[in-house]
A and B are shown apart, each in its own frame.
Chain A
């Protein structure tokens, strides 16, 4: 397994069709290796989700291409499963039917897809809720089902677009540990987009740091700690703090374009940091 981004760039028009063009991504090149937990972080609006959507096949780049094992990505498909920020469970289907639906489309017989759905629901500890409807679950449970649904496709790569940012801090903590465990069990390649540095440091093998808009690769860092990791470890915190200092420059660029010119003359910075840097992850 090898994912290669070659000369990917993308621009948007600001005010619908025919408006002013805004460069979202400058030509971007990098490689993700098989089995890796690879995170992409960057300030808001840097195009990190766009990058993920291009890999998913949900958006097409203006220039360049993405290949997965040498095959060019043309359109979305179950080989590149995506977990979005919202769980996006189909409310008219039961939990189990949601997980099974992708398998049904692949023509997998009922008994087998049922078995596979249960396997992955067990993996996220929700096998008891197989017959429940999505609205009967909490936000964290829904996101678990969404992860099970993606894993059930047995994709070559699992894409995650800020999957935990809409959850409360406690639920997020639990799901971090779960994701680390699932990743170690399945050894699926994971591409993870986040704006949360500590989250990225806790989970990833390597982290791609993007510049403020227009997005480019600022650098790719290897996180030098073995899995499984302890969230409370001081080395991890120190590493996250170091990364944060490196990224501060990019955050300031965003603030400079979004805020009044006097924002950084104040003694206490009032600019909300687009990164989660608070206690816990």
Chain B
């Protein structure tokens, strides 16, 4: 009998198709470069870019840049998470906070965080702290607003059950509220990471004298080295995908499975 609803592709089929398509895109890229519509120094082929990447990996600039960027990211993100969770909880639980600071935060969230950089440079000077400032502002408000949403969206049954079982105060917050909000909270933390990462890249590009993966692009531009710029972009893309899919994607999936939100 013909089936009306298919089960969808199998895992090996999905991976196989992905690999084949990636190979096709690389081949297309190389093909376009070989036809020389644009000079190769402006638009290098995949092999040129990969060998540039390998060279940077070999001489240590790649590792040093990734380390510098990730160090800033982790510090800035950690500050944003702690601050954002605290602000989010306050906004969800206290209407006074919500009506005062809450509306300011909502307004500030609409301002792209990179717009703070010029002011930050004057305030804290031409150094790491200005970049960190922008990273924190990039993620803080987004984490705060999504934390507030996650807490407000907790099904009331868990609150009622928690109270009946005798949970109060800090126990109630960490045993019930936190876990009840967790599936949505992780989504907020993921978005916060993305915002922080974008802010960092923008800041590293503009603040040309700080080391970092964003800076690779700036150096590449100064030397008219397109392969270097593309290699830098690939590095940035690689880090984004690793964190989004491998790290956050994995945690999100595990939590959703445990909660029975997906199979």
Contacts and interface: CB of A to CB of B under 8 A. Distances in A.
Interface of A: 56-58, 75-78, 80-82, 84, 86, 88, 90-92, 101-102, 105-106, 133-136, 149, 153
Contact of A92 (B161, B164, B166, B259): B259
Contacts of A81: 164
B164 A78 contact: yes
Nearest to B175: A101
Interface of B: 157-158, 160-161, 163-167, 171, 175-176, 179-180, 182, 258-260
B158 A76 contact: no
Contacts of A153: 165
Given A84-B157, A91-B260, A133-B260, A56 B164 contact: yes
Contacts of B179: 90, 92
Given A90-B176, A92-B182, A92-B259, A82 B158 contact: no
Interface centre among A57, A76, A80 (most CB of B within 10 A): A76
Contact of B259 (A80, A88, A106, A135): A135
A88 B156 CA distance: 9
Nearest to B167: A105
B180 A90 contact: yes
A39 B94 CA distance: 38
A58 B164 contact: yes
Nearest to A149: B165
A92 B186 CA distance: 14
Contacts of B160: 58, 76, 82, 84, 88
Given A88-B157, A91-B260, 19 more contacts: A58-B163, A76-B160, A76-B163, A84-B157, A84-B161, A88-B158, A88-B161, A90-B158, A90-B161, A92-B179, A92-B259, A101-B175, A102-B166, A105-B171, A134-B260, A135-B259, A135-B260, A136-B260, A149-B165
Nearest to B172: A105
Contacts of A134: 260
Nearest to A81: B164
Nearest to A150: B164
Nearest to A152: B165
B45 to A, nearest CB: 50
Nearest to A77: B166
Contacts of A149: 165
Contacts of B164: 56, 58, 76-78, 80-82
Contacts of B258: 91-92, 133
A102 B260 CA distance: 23
A interface: dominant SS: loop
A57 B168 CA distance: 14
Contacts of B175: 101
A84 B158 CA distance: 11
A91 B182 CA distance: 11
Interface centre among B164, B176, B180 (most CB of A within 10 A): B164
Contact of A78 (B166, B171, B182): B166
Contacts of B182: 92
B165 A105 contact: yes
B165 A78 contact: yes
B179 to A, nearest CB: 5
Nearest to B176: A90
Contacts of A58: 160, 163-164
Contacts of B260: 91, 133-136
Contacts of B166: 77-78, 102, 105-106
A136 B259 CA distance: 10
Contacts of B158: 88, 90
Contacts of A135: 259-260
Contact of A91 (B163, B165, B259): B259
The 4 tightest CB contacts between A and B, nearest first, are A135-B260, A102-B165, A88-B157, A91-B259
Nearest to B182: A92
A102 B167 CA distance: 8
Contacts of B167: 105
A201 B163 CA distance: 31
A21 to B, nearest CB: 22
A101 B259 contact: no
Nearest to A135: B260
28 contacts: A57-B163, A58-B160, A58-B163, A76-B160, A76-B164, A77-B164, A78-B164, A78-B165, A82-B160, A82-B164, A84-B160, A84-B161, A86-B157, A88-B157, A88-B158, A90-B158, A90-B161, A92-B182, A92-B258, A101-B175, A102-B165, A102-B166, A105-B167, A105-B171, A133-B258, A135-B259, A135-B260, A149-B165
